[in-house]
Amino acid sequence: MNAAPTLDDVRRAHLRIAPYIHRTPVLTSEMLNRETGARLFFKCENFQKAGAFKSRGACNAVFSLSDVEARNGVATHSSGNHAAALARAARLRGIAAHIVMPNNSPKPKQQAVAGYGGQIVLCEPTLAARERTCQMLIDATGATLIHPYNDNRIIAGQGTAALELLTDVSGPLDALVVCLGGGGLLAGCATAAKAIQPSIRVFGIEPERGNDWVLSRKAGHPVTIPPPDTIADGLRTPRPGNVTFPIVQHLVEDVITVTEDEIAETTLFLLERMKILAEPSGAVAAAAVLFRKLPPGIRSAGVVISGGNVDWDTLASLSPAFTR
């Protein structure tokens, strides 16, 4: 696909990936509704196969490949969740997965990739190093690149999360709130949501320390920042994708930032009060709601909990930020 994905692309992706993913639940909290004054519906992709929404896009991309495209396997660079999802999707199709990971990727995420049969090559934690190492692998193996977000097949697959959410929630929503790294999830969800319900307001949420989207939207083009130092390790992309950026610019009302303490507190809030185990990246969208970062007047919202791949050491490290 060369043109931006459409709702039809998202619907076709949903049919394609249905045998390989979970239809994840939508959970609510009366207590949180009372505290925020809004009806909130949490799309829990922490329960997804491989622990994150990334399985949607990875399965759509891998099972969209022709036999010729797939014969030498697939390759990507990723800090963790896309890597694991692609390794799993490749195993389901019976092809190789060559995965470039930054050497500061969390060990549990590296172990997950290896567990799905992915062949890992570590590199320095910069976008240039990731892209260079991945291209070297592709040149050596003939594998097909499946970019973690800058790929319309990925975007259409990720959009199936919003397709399910809006189908499973009765009545229209005022807003959709989605975390933002490279932009694949937000671009796909915004594509689906705005086509189904044009009046819905879509917001992207990113860590304050990784504000490449805020800067890029102001500049009108993708802006590169240093590798973000944030606990939301799945959102450490240093610049928006050139495929995702125009989609987000066109369909998303605003990009909002949350602080490290807000991310940490929300991660623990979700666990303690809602029994939702989310990784810090997965809690970013919820943090914007919990800390009332959305514009006033929103009375209902869908919130994507994007993933749950977190280890207990990470959770323990967040505890000092969760003070009473």
Per-residue model confidence as pLDDT tens digits over 208-261 = 999 999 999 999 999 999 989 999 988 988 899 999 999 999 999 999 999 999
CA 176/CA 203 separation, integer angstroms: 6
Torsion of CA 296, 258, 194, 199, to 10 degrees: 0
Q: Is 5 within 8 Å of 156 (Cβ atoms)?
A: yes
Predicted local distance difference test score (pLDDT) of residue 27 = 97
Active site residues: 54, 79
Q: Does the pLDDT at position 170 exceed 90?
A: no
- Rounded to 5 degrees, what are φ and ψ at 309? -85, 85
Give the pLDDT band (50/70/90) at residue 312: confident
Contact of 107 with 82, CB cutoff 8 Å? no
Residues recorded for the chain: 324
Domain of 170: which CATH number?
3.40.50.1100
143 touches 150 (CB < 8 A): no
- Domain boundary pick from 151, 175, 194: 151
How far apart, in Å, are the Cα atoms of 10 and each of 15, 23, 91, 154, 187? 9, 15, 23, 10, 11
- Of 118, 151, 184, the residue at which a domain comes to its end is 151
* 145 and 165 both lie in a single domain: no
**For 67-76, 121-130, 174-183, which range has the lowest pLDDT when averaged over its residues?**
121-130
Task: Evaluate whether 211 touches 272 at the Cβ level (below 8 Å).
Answer: no
What whole-number percentage of the chain has pLDDT above 70?
98
Q: How many CB atoms neighbour CB 188 within 10 A? A: 33
pLDDT for the residue 322 = 43
Tokens of 181: 């790294």
Looking at the fold, whether 159 and 290 belong to one and the same domain comes out as yes
pLDDT at res. 107 = 83
> Looking at the structure, do residues 203 and 297 belong to the same domain, yes or no?
yes
Summarised one tens digit per residue, pLDDT across range 110-164 is 999 999 999 999 999 888 899 999 999 999 999 999 999 999 999 999 999 999 9
pLDDT at 2 over 80: no
> Are 98 and 199 a contacting pair, CB within 8 Å?
no
Q: What is d(CA 282, CA 277) in angstroms, rounded to the nearest whole number?
A: 9
Question: Taking residues 301-308, what's their average pLDDT?
Answer: 97
Is residue 77 one of the residues assigned to a domain?
yes
Q: How many domains does the chain have?
A: 2
pLDDT for residue 1: 46
According to DSSP, residue 319 is labeled: G
Phi-psi region of 183 (alpha: psi -120 to 50; beta: other; left: phi over 0): left
Query: Which residues form the domain of 116?
Result: 55-151
2 in any annotated domain: no
pLDDT at residue 321 above 60?
no
Measured CA to CA, the distance from residue 205 to residue 88 in angstroms comes to 27
Q: Are residues 29 and 175 in the same domain?
A: yes
Together in a domain, 39 and 106: no
Q: Is the pLDDT higher at 135 or at 318?
A: 135
Residues 241 and 305 in one domain: yes
Whether residue 317 is predicted with pLDDT greater than 90 in this model: the reply is no
Is residue 324 over pLDDT 60?
A: no
Mean pLDDT estimate for the chain? 94
Last residue of a domain, one of 94, 129, 151: 151
Closest by CA to 50, choosing from 311, 324, 307, 321, is 307
Binned at pLDDT 50, 70 and 90, residue 315 comes out as confident
Angle subtended by helix axes 244-251 and 212-219, to nearest 10: 80
Identify whether the C-beta of residue 267 lies closer than 8 Å to the C-beta of residue 140.
no
